[in-house]
Amino acid sequence: MTEDDRHRTGFTEYTRTAAAREQVLAATEPVSRTERMSLFEADERVVAGGIDANRAVPHYERAAMDGFAVRAVETFEADERAPVSFEIAETVSPGTATRVHTGSELPEGADAVVMVEDVAVSGDELVVSSAVPEGANVGPIGEDVEAGQKLFGDGHRLRPSDVGLLKAVGFDEVGVYERPRVSVLPTGEELVQADPNPGEIIETNGQTVSQYVRRWGGEPTYRDIVTDDPERLRAAIERDLDHDIVVTTGGSSVGERDLLPDVVDELGEVFVHGVALKPGHPVALGVVEETPVLMLPGYPVACIVNAVQFLRPAIELAGHLPHRSPPTTEARLTRKIPSEPGVRTFARVQMADGGGSEGGTTATPTRAKGAGVLSSVALADGWVVVPEEREGYAGGETVAVETWEWSR
C-alpha cells in the first residue's frame, strides 16, 4: 500500500493479537553480549553459560549438633546400665571427647558427635549412656554442595538465594548476559516535557515505556522528543539501530501526521499495521536492518496496552528471560463489559472485597473508556481481557483480572 493509499483508505484489515506477537518475536534475537558482574549487583540478572561450584559446601566435616565429638566405636557398648565414660579434653584420642558446637570443625580423630542432651557431665568427665554410629550428627564434606556440582544453567535468572549460594561456593562475580538495549523515541510536534501551552501535551508515553523497559529486564535509552518530520524521524531511527529494539510512541496510525509506518517501511519493512485489539489497534510493527521497530500509538492507554502485548515479550526473548503470563484474580463483574466480536478487548477495572450475600472479590469497569485517559490505567487494579470470540461479559459473570503491572 502506498503512503497516499494508507492515509486515504485507513485500516482495511487487522492482524490478530497472537499473530502479531509471533511476528515480533520472529524478528527478535536473544542478546549474545555478556559481562562480568559482582555478586552484590547480580540479583535478577541472567546467567550466561552456566555455573559449576568452585568448592564444596561445607568444605570440612562439621558438627551438626551441639555436643561432644568422640570415636563412635567407643560408644558401641554404652547403655543405661553400663554407661561409658570419657575424659573431656582439647583433642580426641582413645578415651577422650571434645566439646563441639553446631557448625564447628569435627576434631581430628573423631567420627561422631553425641548430642549434649544425651550425656551427663561431671567436671572433666563425660558419661554416655547410648551408642552412636559412625557419622552420627556429622555434616560431611559436600553435604550441601559438592565441588564441581552444576548449579545454574545458561539463561537462569538469579535470585537473592542463588547469589548467596554462589558466594558460599567461592564466587565474587558472575558472567551474565547484558540487558537488551531498548531505544525509546517519543514523537509528536505537540509534545513538551514541561509547562504546556494550549495545544501542547506533556510527554508521558516515552517516560512510562522507558520505566517499563527497565522493570521488564531491559536497559532503556529515553530519547528527546522527535517532531513529526520524515527526515528527523528517519535520522532518529537510523541513529539507534545499534540497539536491540527500537520503540516509538505516537505517529503510528493513518492520519496525515502519522508518518512513522511510512518512514520505517522505507528503511526496512512494516509487517503489521493495525491489530485487532482495543484500545490500541493503530499499532505498527516492523524491522529495519534486523532491529525490531515497535511503533506504539500516542494515546496513553493504547500505548501501554501495546507495550505489554508486544514490547514485553520481545524484551523477554532478547534478554533470555522466560515468558510469564501475568497473575490473575477471579472476580465477579458488577456490570457488563461490551466488546466487538473479532477484537481482543482490554477493559480496565477496579477490584474490591464484595459485600452482600454473594461476597467474594468484585471487579468494576472504570467509567473512563477512552484510550487517552491515562488515569483510568493508573487508578485501575488490572484489566479484564475479552477474547476475540466473545461479545463482552455480562454483569455478574466471574472473570479473570490480569494484574498486568506485576514485577517478575
Output the domain CATH number for residue 310: 3.40.980.10
- Residue 252's nearest CA partner among 316, 164, 188 is 188
Q: Do residues 188 and 66 share a domain?
A: no
pLDDT tens series, the chain, 408 aa: 455 555 555 677 899 999 999 999 999 999 999 999 999 999 999 999 999 999 999 999 999 999 999 999 999 999 989 999 999 999 999 999 999 999 999 999 999 999 999 999 999 999 999 999 999 999 999 999 999 999 999 999 999 999 999 999 999 999 999 999 999 999 999 989 999 999 989 999 999 999 999 999 999 999 999 999 999 999 999 999 999 999 999 989 888 888 999 999 999 999 999 999 999 999 999 999 999 999 999 999 999 999 999 999 999 999 999 888 889 999 999 999 999 999 999 999 999 986 545 668 999 998 766 555 566 677 788 999 999 999 999 999 999 999 887 665
Residue type, 152: F
**What was the pLDDT predicted at 325?**
86
Q: What is the pLDDT of residue 206?
A: 96
| Residue 309 to residues 56, 119, 163, 211, 275, Cα–Cα distance (Å) | 44, 66, 31, 16, 11
Give Dmax (Cα) for the chain. 104
Amino acid 357: pLDDT: 54
Contact 246, 289 (CB under 8 A): no
Helix (H) or strand (E) holding 97: strand 96-100
Domain match, 294 and 198 both: yes
190 and 250 share a domain? yes
pLDDT recorded at residue 7: 55
Return the closest-CA partner of residue 140 out of 63, 55, 54, 72. Answer: 63
**One domain, residues 241 and 278:** yes
Give residue 181's pLDDT.
Answer: 98
Is 323 domain-assigned? no
Q: Within this chain, do residues 229 and 255 fall inside the same structural domain, yes or no?
A: yes
Among the candidates 318, 344, 367, a domain finishes at 318
pTM of the model: 0.85
Task: Please report which helix (H) or strand (E) contains residue 96, including its range.
Answer: strand 96-100
Q: Are 203 and 192 in contact (CB under 8 A)?
A: yes
Q: How is residue 314 written as a grid cell?
A: 520481545
The residue type at 81:
R
Cβ neighbors of 232 (< 8 A, separation 6 or more) are 226
Whole domain around residue 289: which residue ranges? 3-33+178-318
Residues 103 and 181: their CA atoms lie apart, in Å, by 46
Domain co-membership, 294 together with 192: yes
Q: In this structure, are 186 and 234 located in the same domain?
A: yes
Residues 156 and 246 in one domain: no
Whether residues 231 and 337 fall in one domain: no
Asked if 65 and 113 touch (Cβ cutoff 8 Å), the reply is yes
> In the prediction, which pLDDT does 371 show?
56
At residue 373, the pLDDT reads 59
pLDDT score, position 399: 96
Q: Are both 278 and 339 inside the same structural domain?
A: no
| SS3 category, 357 | coil
Name the β-bridge partners of 385: 346
Q: Which of 287, 318, 349 is the last residue of a domain?
A: 318
Question: Same domain, yes or no, for 243 and 370?
Answer: no
Q: Please give the tally of structural domains in the chain.
A: 4
